Chains A and B, each alone.
Chain A
Amino acid sequence: MAKSRFWLYFSSPKTFYPFSGKLIPWCVGVAAVLMAVGLYMGLLVTPPDYRMGDSYRIIYIHVPAVWMSMIIYMVMAGWAAVGLIWNVKLAEMMAGALAPTGAIFTVIGLWTGALWGRPTWGAYWVWDARLTTYLVMLFLYMGYIALRSAIDDPRRASKASALLAIVGGINVPIIYFSVKWWNTLHQPFTVAPGQESKIDPTMLWTMMIMVIAFWAYTLAVSLIRVRCDILEREKNSSWVAELLQGSSAGNKQ
């Protein structure tokens, strides 16, 4: 009971706003430090791959970006469902705040994948099941963002895009298996990404550091976005008025 009250306490924009404000500097700090450490280790400390040489080093950006983009879609669809089912305003805002970051990570994943594919497979793009599904995921993100921004009423925009995110989430596995079957029918798997079975422990550690850095970055950016959304939607409430008065008084001192 106490636990559920704890979560309900933070589901109110009024209490979430100051809490998230305290959280953001920590997330930014963790992201900056770990990204610097991860990039240093990835580019200078870890040994070169015996097959791919130095070109594999893009993995430290590519893999965390791809992971994040997929996790963000799931989290986004989850928040969208919470917002739609229990009518929680903050969950709706959170889903909307995650989408641009997810889309950007998807673009980074595709881009770095293409740059990595050229030296290792000899092509920027192959119609592999994973790549194709991943491209479709970018389309789903784009559809979500486009629908959300095309509707002016924020509540209707949140609900409509939430339904779309859930429908898209149900479809992702169906699309993946369809594309996989289509792909194996048309061409045998000549190249399959991600077949390195054993990697050096330092490589794994570096990758984990980058993953945590990307998590922290995602948290920071989406919290900043959600705070803007809160202020915009709650601009007529008394606590925002007090907050703005307080901050302008603080500036005068």
Chain B
Amino acid sequence: MSESIKNTGLFAAFRLMVARDLTLAMRRRTDVFTTLFFFIIAVTLFPLGVGPEIELLRSMGPGVIWVAALLASMLSLSTLFSGDYEDGTLEQMVIAPHPLSVLVLGKLFAHWLTTGVPLALLSPLLGMQMGLGSAEIQVLLLTLLLGTPVLSLIGSIGAALTLGVRGGGILLSLLILPLFIPVLIFGAGAVDAFTTGVSIDGHLSLLGAFLVLSLVLAPLATSVALRISLE
């Protein structure tokens, strides 16, 4: 495999990384399903906690679903690099001829495909549970598709920094949840704005801007963090 990697171009390396991580995710399907079921359970707890009044649930729904998606993707991030760190694959990635940030981007793309996309695809079901209308559910789905890659990208910095650190999981939440706040505001805010009849273009544009910004900066920061963790 190392021979083929050496002779591959940048995009081929990216594609191989995605394929590898998707294969690993397919072989460990429970990891993916655990995240999804956490998402479902967390959203289901809210009606039980605040009461089944549909008006209340409808107004809270987008926020609750977004917070649950945020927590679910955060929990899945703690295992993003830990497997590769323990078996030494990560060191091979660092010394590979390809830029580490491109390989990280490949891992993150695979991570988004296995967590962000399923979370977004599940959200209509939970939206119906919270009494949202079909138009609102469409907006919710759109914002989740735009926002979850940002969560994976920003979160990967925290995941890389907490590699092999004691209490890594709980520490990760302290590091990255404050950085998730803008995404939460505009993701959940878009659905609220839609409900009140305000244009959602601004929200979607800002989510897109966060996506572009984190797409450029986060892989670089993550590769610096990985190098620090492997020193």
Q: Could you list which residues of chain A lie within 8 angstroms of chain B, going by C-beta atoms?
A: 136, 139-140, 142-143, 146-147, 150-151, 155-156, 159-160, 163-164, 167-168, 170-171, 174-175, 178-179, 181-182, 185
Contact = CB atoms under 8 A, between A and B. Distances in A.
Interface of B: 157-158, 161-162, 165-168, 171, 174-175, 177-179, 181-182, 185-186, 189, 192-193, 198, 206, 210, 217, 221, 224-225, 228-229, 231
Contacts of A140: 178
Given A163-B224, A163-B225, A178-B186, A150 B166 contact: yes
Contact of B189 (A142, A174, A185): A185
List the 10 closest A-B pairs by CB distance, nearest first.
Answer: A178-B182, A139-B178, A143-B175, A182-B185, A159-B228, A178-B185, A143-B174, A160-B161, A150-B165, A136-B178
B103 to A, nearest CB: 18
Given A139-B178, A160-B228, A182-B185, A150 B221 contact: no
A175 B181 contact: yes
Contacts, number: 75
Given A150-B167, A185-B189, A175 B225 contact: no
Main secondary structure of the interface of B (DSSP, over half): helix
Contacts of A143: 171, 174-175, 178
Nearest to B181: A175
A160 B185 contact: no
A233 to B, nearest CB: 16
A78 B192 CA distance: 38
A247 to B, nearest CB: 34
A182 B168 CA distance: 31
Contacts of A142: 174
A175 B177 CA distance: 12
A58 B25 CA distance: 56
B97 to A, nearest CB: 24
A148 to B, nearest CB: 11
Contacts of A167: 157, 179, 221
A156 B171 contact: no
Nearest to A159: B228
Nearest to A180: B185
Contacts of A136: 178, 181
Contacts of B171: 143, 146-147, 150
A24 B122 CA distance: 59
B166 A171 contact: no
A208 B161 CA distance: 40
Contacts of B177: 139
B47 to A, nearest CB: 23
B231 A156 contact: yes
Contacts of A147: 161-162, 165, 171, 175
B185 A151 contact: no
A168 B179 contact: yes
Contacts of B198: 185
Contacts of B165: 147, 150-151
